[in-house]
Amino acid sequence: MSGELLVVEDIHKAFGDLKVLKGISLAVAKRERKVIIGPSGTGKSTLLRCINRLTRPDRGKVWLDGVEITDSKKQISKIRQQIGMVFQHFNLFVHLSALDNVRVGLTDVKRMEKKEAVQKAMEVLDRVGLTDKKNYYPAELSGGQQQRVGIARAMAMDPKLILFDEPTSALDPELIGEVLNVMEELAGEGTTMLVVTHEMGFARTICDEIIFMEGGEILEQGPPEQFFTRPKNERTKRFLHKITELYGHGGEG
């Protein structure tokens, strides 16, 4: 387990009779980027939610930096400060400006002085190219801009790891690139990332390992080169084929 920043061990989760996660184990080392792919309803979001404790797993454990965070005695807010989350539908505070969306976690959760927090929020907004939009409200921003605010909000907390749950799948195609560019920059800076996405170009070029989930289990995982050119599992092959049809670029290019 040493060297790993995030360790997920044998996570199970059911909603009533529906067994959604059936024993998921994975690990992400510091500075590593891993991508999770898999059909709809397979438990990808549930898995991310179990990692940052938005959902409580029925069984299994999660460690962050050697500390077991599934332990109910651990403070949830402490854990969430260390794990950033970027959502498909941005989940911004609609009544706060872009700047305040990024600043609020710093003052209200991290208890940073307002002046210092504003300065930090400005720096991060600058990194995602939104300095000129700092006073805009979410409704006044495009989807791509809103998602860049969402990423800035996660970055501002200096988390140990950022989870991304289909960060581009609610965006119009022409806006996807600006969000992927920001994510690529983060990856280049050594940010530890666990990303659920169907953007196979991103997966192929940026990530260290692809994890294919189906029916609440990990069916196959491996480095992108091997995964795309020599998938072992028939179901992986079929899924890659389908995703190529849907998104037009399965990873062959």
Ligand X SMILES: Nc1ncnc2c1ncn2[C@@H]1O[C@H](COP(=O)(O)OP(=O)(O)OP(=O)(O)O)[C@@H](O)[C@H]1O
Which residues contact Mg ion (rule: CB under 5 A)?
Answer: 44-45
Distances (CA, A) of 141 to 43, 146, 204: 30, 6, 30
Q: Is 217 left (phi over 0), alpha (psi -120 to 50) or beta?
A: beta
Instruction: Give the residue, chosen from 46, 52, 146, 192, that forms a contact with ligand X under the rule CB under 6 A.
Output: 46
C-beta of 18 vs 67, nearer to ligand X: 18
Token pair for 165: 């749950």
Instruction: Give the residue, chosen from 33, 34, 44, 204, that forms a contact with ligand X under the rule CB under 6 A.
Output: 44
Q: Is residue 15 near ligand X by the rule CB under 6 A?
A: yes
C-beta of 14 vs 29, nearer to Mg ion: 14
The binder of 43, among ligand X, Mg ion, none, by C-beta within 5 to 8 A per type, is ligand X
Q: Which window, 34-42, 60-68, 115-123, 175-183, contacts ligand X (CB under 6 A)?
A: 34-42
The binder of 40, among ligand X, Mg ion, none, by C-beta within 5 to 8 A per type, is ligand X
C-beta of 46 vs 168, nearer to ligand X: 46
SS3 for 22? strand
Instruction: Give the residue, chosen from 7, 42, 121, 210, that forms a contact with ligand X under the rule CB under 6 A.
Output: 42
Do 235 and 65 touch, CB atoms closer than 8 A?
Answer: no
C-beta of 46 vs 101, nearer to ligand X: 46
Q: What angle do CA 117, 79, 164 make, to 5 degrees?
A: 80
Instruction: Give the residue, chosen from 11, 28, 35, 45, that forms a contact with ligand X under the rule CB under 6 A.
Output: 45
Burial (0-12, 13-18, 19+ Cβ within 10 Å), 56: exposed
Phi, psi dihedral angles at 54 (to 5 degrees): -75, -25
Q: Is residue 41 near ligand X by the rule CB under 6 A?
A: yes
